Amino acid sequence: MLAIVALLILSADVSFLSANPEGFRSQDFTHKRRLMVEHQIRRRGVTDRATLTAMETVPRHEFVPARARAAAYRDGPLPIGYGQTISQPYIVAYMTELLRVNAADKVLEVGTGSGYQAAVLGEIVREVRTIEIIPELGKNARQRLERLGYENVHVKIADGYHGWPEHGPYDGIIVTAAAEHIPPPLIRQLKDGGRMVIPVGHPFFVQNLVLVEKKNGKVTTENLLPVAFVPFTRSR
Ligand code: SAH
């Protein structure tokens, strides 16, 4: 009897005992990611090749809490702790495409969160600077990005309102928390000819995704679509 039980245990699937507790295989995620890009992103009108390739490459499941891994490629935002969320894949792709950045460019992100958006940008541009105000999230994101090999992505823990002037100006700036106004330091750190994408509006109320362009020193803004982001907070 004992021998039979032992045999049963030996022949059972023990993949759940490995470092990958849910027993997912990386091919499953690769497949899910392809479907995500096709159904949620390409079919909704994102055409930029570099953006689509980046979305197909970055392992989104590595950026969500372990218990949410099965949901990582779903068509929506997911909680990442500390009351914050990782944005819906489509929104990440849409904002990335809007920046119109390329391999030679330098980008600033405000609102590192999990580090996912920064990794997507890191696949496309030369250098990404990203700022997070919650120290634990910033530290986790830094470690995660390092582990996944994103050497061109640099995380700073600070209030992103002030930007990161030492490394500016930037070809593109992306803000992933909703601000009540566009922080003037970020406008100053945007290169001439550069683009900034930022959700503007009251927290927990209607916000607009705004495209800011600087051309010959002139700044113009355009409202693109209603969005719902977590609030842009300020350090006291
Ligand atoms: N881009 C992230 C998701 C961002 S959620 C990702 O891909 O996962 C928004 C993040 O902005 C939160 O982590 C929040 O703590 C951060 N945030 C809010 N206000 C900020 C500020 N003033 N400076 C820097 N980060 C801020």
65 CA → ligand 1 middle, Å: 16
3 CA → ligand 1 middle, Å: 55
User: What average pLDDT is seen over the chain?
Assistant: 91
Asked if residue 193 belongs to a domain, the reply is yes
Asked if residue 10 belongs to a domain, the reply is no
Asked if residue 132 belongs to a domain, the reply is yes
Asked if residue 17 belongs to a domain, the reply is no
9 CA → ligand 1 middle, Å: 46
Q: Which domain holds residue 154?
A: 26-227
Please write the tens of the pLDDT for every residue from 168-197: 999 999 999 999 999 999 999 999 999 999
Ligand 1 in contact with 127 (CB < 6 A)?
no
- Residue 7 pLDDT class (50, 70, 90 cuts): very low
* 30 Cβ neighbours under 8 A, 6+ residues apart: none
Ligand 1 in contact with 159 (CB < 6 A)?
yes
In this model, does residue 129 exceed pLDDT 80? yes
Asked if residue 235 belongs to a domain, the reply is no
Protein residue with least CA distance to atom 14, ligand 1? 111
Asked if residue 185 belongs to a domain, the reply is yes
- Residue 20 pLDDT class (50, 70, 90 cuts): low
In this model, does residue 79 exceed pLDDT 90? yes
Q: Give the number of domains in the chain.
A: 1
87 is catalytic: yes
Ligand 1 in contact with 232 (CB < 6 A)?
yes
**Strand intervals (E) in the chain:** 78-81, 84-86, 106-110, 127-132, 153-157, 170-175, 190-201, 207-215, 218-227
- The pLDDT > 70 percentage for the chain reads 89
Residue 43, pLDDT score: 98
- CATH number of the domain that residue 40 is part of: 3.40.50.150
pTM above 0.85? yes
In this model, does residue 8 exceed pLDDT 80? no
Protein residue with least CA distance to atom 18, ligand 1? 232
Asked if residue 152 belongs to a domain, the reply is yes
Asked if residue 116 belongs to a domain, the reply is yes
